[in-house]
Chains A and B, each alone.
Chain A
Amino acid sequence: MNQFKIWQIGLIYSVLIVGIIFAMPNFYPTKPALQVGFGASSSVLNTNIFQSVTSELEGKSIEFEKIELNDNSLKIIFDDVENQLAGRRALAEYSDGDFIIALNSEPSTPEWLRSLGGKPVNLGLDLAGGIHFLLEVDTKRYSQERLSSEGASLVEEFLSRNINASYSSTGSEIKLSFINSNNLEQAREYLNQNNFITSGSKYAISQSGNNINLQYTNEYLAEIIDYAVEQNLVALRNRVNELGVSEPIVQRQGRSRIVVELPGVQDSTSAKKIIGKTANLEFRLEARPNDSFLRKESFPFKNQPGRTVFLEKVIVLTGDNVTNAQSSFDENGRPQVNINLDIDGGRAMQNATKDNSAKVLGKGRNLGVLLIEEKTKTYFDENDNVIQEKVPVRQIISNAEIQNTLGTSFRITGLGSSQEASELALLLRAGALAAPMTFVEEQTIGPSLGQENIEKGINSVIIGFILVFIFMLIRYKLFGLSANIALMSNLILVTAIMSTVGATLTLPGIAGIVLTVGMAVDANVLIFARISEELKANVDPQNAIRNGFSKAFSTIMDANITTLLVALILYAIGTGPIKGFAVTLSIGIVTSIFTAILVTRSLVNFIYGYRRIEELKI
């Protein structure tokens, strides 16, 4: 007799039931929602805002279902789109344009399902509509700029040690030239002492005549490029957050590229402007007490409410010149921030500080650092068109005494804690991009196209499935019915896994699912063909079924494993559409092995396994 044990049946069907539960969130309709953010400059997010937003909406009798307070944003869910839009207008007015409000749709997954971790599948841009950018970090220019700025500071360092040196940089190399071998030896000693050229450090060194050539070692180059790309990623995330997009994606792709995906956004020009905006730091000397008001301006401190200071109107340099800023500790273990400038910045800094340092004046003047944040105020007119206004907000993040003449690298000391130091370093870096970037790919997909793609995709799955269903039923009767139920379970499991692991469904992804429908049947066809062969060889029906399943098994495994290998290679090497296809194909293959063999078997057992069969046809 062909029977599964109770626990085997239990196991198979509990997998299916779990699958059904986790596929369910995809079948609940979505509800209109608003996501309200409060911008980088505001830290007022607390229960007060929660209450005032609630009463504002209630006061204007705008109906909403509920308000949720997340990490740093509010989510308001409405019953209909009218209330959603009215709510958006009301909150923009209420906040005087300060709130960052994004239209959103919230799945109406019931609470119990959500608490189990159930959520609907993420839709790719081709299905949801939106903008896709691919940016390339110009790593070559970045490393060149860095090298030449380091060349400049090395020469400065040598001159201060009375070593006569000059430098020139050629692409991937700095050439340090000395007037005689004596100077050269001293320079080498210095480089040795500072661990610049010991093994495993940043430079590879070569010598020719009175020149020393320094090159970044490959490891060091990889390290700084990695750092620069990560830094750009942080800066981009901050900028993208300003756009007020719900669930944007800012992700690294490969060694030096960054993908930005903005679902729901259509205006690529303004999105590009915000993503591509330039640095926003200014270094200015603190004004002398007797400077006229024509020459100075008063600015507030960012972290000390109420405190203000007068800075000169002359800008020494901007964030464009900052190449790096990092917190560390000085010789005495006190926190400090090390800042690196490019050559122009270093020169400007030298000019500005040489007559104003403590070394010259006894008591040095202060150098202030201003952070300029472009705040976007967003309003909506009667027709719900977006009206945006940009207001720059300047705040002081550091105002420290100049101890000595400063060049391309200097440090800010006297910071209260290491936390303060790392925050300052972050701010110094945050605005600026560590390395220059260019757009290499850009795509906008209208919302109607996304909707159309979803419909087309779902229709082709349904029609393909029905065609296969009918064919299998006609060709294999009851066996075909079992295969069809298995096929349906396969679709459910693929949906459940895609939703649970947070994979993104794209149009090629849907094609991958359609293809697995076609291929999943293959396993069943193989099994049924074997059973029919066994029957022809006069094996009795029960044994024929048993042999059919076991003889087809290794073929099915071999065939599926090789296809899975191909799908994994596609996933590893492919980008964009290919990846989407590979994801669903791989998941589909794995689940189809389970459903086509075990689910079908359990159904066949259920139909035939518990009785004597005189005659079996297939």
Chain B
Amino acid sequence: MNIPFVRYNNLGFITSSTLIVIACISLLFKGLNLGQEFTGGIALQLKYDQKAELPKIRSSLSKIENVDFKVNNFGSDNEVKITFQSDTELNITVDTVKNQLEADNYLGKVVMTATVFPQIGEELRDKGGIAILVAMLVILVYIIFRFQIKFGYGAIAALFHDVLIILGIFSVFGLDFDLSVLAAILAIVGYSLNDSIVVSDRIRENFLDQNKKGSPEVLINDSLNQVFARTIITSFTTLLVLISLLVVGGEDLRNFSLALAIGVIIGSYSSIFIVVKVLLATNLSKKDMEKPKNEPEESYSLD
């Protein structure tokens, strides 16, 4: 197998740039459909014996003034999720909703209620952003220590690329961005890195190998071909479990598994196109490898 990845590099670069521009525009103008954990607010989950009649619930709740209720099915036809922002004095609570529905004789079984006050939401948003930045910084330091700074640039560029595109997809399609999606994105930071490291590792190995001759382009292309099967297989097995989560994991894990699935695909793609693009752009050469910061430990040998 010999796929000329490096030759298609510019194609990949154009695709990624376009996607990132779209993502940024959407994030700037449309923003994210932030979940209740971030915005603060109240949510109730109700379960009915039969198919829930949403218009009935909406008309009942319309009697409560000053509040805009969102009423949607959740998971199945029998289940309903009601979300809303309380008024400024926070007078309208879970109980107000329960009482109103009960008065109209259409209160199902209350399976879950959640109230998040605005200040918590704000804090979570800040913390989430900080978490992603700290994660990236730690990783950069680790890679510089273990590899070489050019690989660090490559891995971080790939991370930014992946995170931006996932955020973009959530923004463009208006998918619920809740706390679990934030966790998924952080997991993707780890996963994408995994891919970038495997690729970088192999490139370094080939650059260090004195028997291997050829321009950096050729060496990098060989490396990509060597790890390609592994990249596909690993992404595939991870996708297998994510599909199982997506299908049977239920509504609560849907956006989480979706974000991860998108991230796995994009992470694999970026390890091939973005990392390589950066390595080529920074003119990675055999010279860069002359003083490797740290030889891989070959001490592992149990036989």
Name the segment of A148-156, A353-361, A546-554 touching the other chain: A546-554
B112: contacting residue among A444, A511, A561, A569, CB under 8 A: A444
CB pair B138 A443 closer than 8 Å: no
Q: Which of A442-474 contact B (CB under 8 A)?
A: 442-446, 448-449, 452-453, 456-457, 459-460, 463-465, 467-468, 471-472
CA distance A574 to B182 in the complex (A): 10
Convert A417-453 into 0s and 1s, putting 1 for each residue whose CB lies closer than 8 angstroms to a CB of B: 0000000000000000000000111111110110011
B89-115 at interface with A (beta carbon < 8 Å) = 94-95, 109-115
Interface residue B130 (Cβ < 8 Å from any Cβ of A):
yes
Tell me how far the C-beta of A289 lies from the nearest C-beta in chain B, rounded to whole angstroms: 52
- Assess the A574–B230 pair: CB atoms within 8 A: no
Contact A459 B248 (CB under 8 A): yes
Stretch from A166-174, A238-246, A305-313, A520-528 contacting the other chain: A520-528
Q: Is A442's CB under 8 angstroms from B115's CB?
A: yes
B250 touches A553 (CB 8 A): no
Interface locus among B2-10, B58-66, B212-220, B235-243: B235-243
Q: How far is the CB of B49 from chain A (nearest CB, A)?
A: 13
**B245 nearest CB neighbor, chain A only:** A460
Q: CB distance A507 to B190 under 8 Å? A: no
| A511 and B248 form a contact (CB under 8 A) | no
Contact of A468 among B110, B191, B193, B241 (CB under 8 A): B241
Binds A, one of B16-24, B281-289, B292-300: B292-300
B85 interface residue (CB < 8 Å to A): no
Q: Which residues of A contact B226 (CB under 8 A)?
A: 533
Cα separation A475 to B236 with both chains bound (whole Å): 12
A577 close to B (CB within 8 Å): yes
Whether a CB of chain B sits under 8 angstroms from the CB of A40 is no
Asked whether B191 lies within 8 Å of A453 as measured between CB atoms, the reply is no
The answer to whether B182 and A467 have CB atoms under 8 Å apart is no
Name which residue of chain A comes closest to B186, CB basis: A570
Q: Which of B26-34, B167-175, B251-259 contacts A (4 or more CB under 8 A)?
A: B251-259
Closest to B124 in A: A575
Give the distance in Å from the alpha carbon of A321 to the alpha carbon of B232 in the complex.
68
User: Is A440 in contact with B187, judged by CB distance below 8 angstroms?
Assistant: no
Q: Report how far A481 CA is from B242 CA in the complex, Å.
A: 21
Determine the chain A residues whose CB is within 8 A of the CB of B110 once the complex forms: 444, 446
Complex CA gap A525/B244 in Å reads 20
A576 to B297, CA, bound (A): 38
Flag whether B78 is at the interface (Cβ < 8 A).
Answer: no
**Bound-state Cα–Cα, A136 to B135, Å:** 28
Q: Count of B residues near A, CB < 8 Å?
A: 73
Whole-angstrom distance from the CB of A588 to the nearest CB of chain B? 11
Chain A interface size, as a band, is 35 or more
Q: Are A601 and B302 in contact (CB under 8 A)?
A: yes
**Interface presence of A607 (CB below 8 A):** no
Asked if B54 is at the interface of the complex by the 8 Å CB criterion, the answer is no
**Interface contact B186-A566, CB-CB below 8 Å:** yes
- Alpha-carbon separation in the docked complex, A475 to B237 (Å): 11
Once A574-B131, A577-B180 are accepted as A-B contacts, the answer to whether A446 and B112 lie under 8 Å apart by CB is: yes
Contacts of A2 in B (CB 8 A): 303
Of A517, A526, A546, A550, which one neighbours B198 at CB under 8 angstroms? A526
The interface residues of chain A lying within 8 Å CB-to-CB of B197 are: 555, 558-559, 562
Kindly list chain A residues whose C-beta atoms are within 8 Å of the C-beta of B234: 519, 521-522, 525-526
Query: Contact check: which of A448, A518, A526, A562 meets B238 at CB < 8 Å?
Result: A518
Query: A136 — which chain B residues lie within 8 A by C-beta?
Result: 119
Taking CB atoms, residues of chain B closer than 8 Å to A578 are: 179, 182-183, 186
B111 cross-chain contacts in A, Cβ below 8 A: 445-446, 448-449
CB atoms of A464 and B244 under 8 A apart: yes
Q: Assess whether A525 is in contact with B237, with CB atoms less than 8 Å apart.
A: yes
Residue among B193, B239, B250 making CB contact with A456, cutoff 8 Å = B250
How far is B190's CA from A350's CA once the two chains are assembled, in angstroms? 64
- Asked if A538 is an interface residue, CB under 8 A from chain B, the answer is no
Q: Decide yes or no whether A386 CB sits under 8 A from chain B.
A: no
Task: Kindly name the residue among A452, A558, A574 whose own CB sees the greatest number of chain B CB atoms within 10 A.
Answer: A558
Instruction: Select from chain B the residue with minimum beta-carbon distance to A465.
Output: B241
CA distance A460 to B247 in the complex (A): 8
Residues of B within 8 Å of A573, CB to CB, are: 127, 130-131, 134
Which chain A residues lie closer than 8 Å to B119 at the CB level? Answer: 136, 440
B127 to chain A: closest residue by CB? A573
Q: What does the 1/0 interface line of B200-224 toward A look like (CB < 8 Å)? A: 0110000000000000000000000
A4, A554, A605: the one contacting B296 at CB < 8 Å is A554
Tell me the B residues contacting A by CB distance below 8 Å: 45, 47, 94-95, 109-117, 119-120, 124, 127, 130-131, 134-135, 138-139, 142-143, 146, 179-180, 182-183, 186-187, 189-191, 193-194, 197-198, 201-202, 226-227, 229-230, 233-234, 236-245, 247-250, 252-253, 256-257, 260, 296-298, 300-303
6 pairs of residues in contact across A and B, judged by CB atoms under 8 Å: A464-B243, A467-B240, A511-B256, A511-B257, A567-B190, A573-B130
Seed contacts A448-B111, A525-B237; 20 additional CB < 8 Å A-B pairs: A268-B94, A440-B116, A440-B120, A445-B111, A449-B111, A460-B244, A460-B247, A460-B248, A511-B256, A550-B298, A555-B201, A558-B197, A559-B193, A562-B190, A563-B190, A565-B190, A570-B187, A578-B179, A578-B182, A601-B302
Residues of A within 8 A of B (CB): 1-4, 8, 126, 134, 136, 268-269, 439-446, 448-449, 452-453, 456-457, 459-460, 463-465, 467-468, 471-472, 475, 507-508, 511, 514-515, 517-519, 521-522, 525-526, 529, 533, 546, 549-550, 553-555, 557-563, 565-567, 569-570, 573-578, 581-582, 585, 598, 601, 605
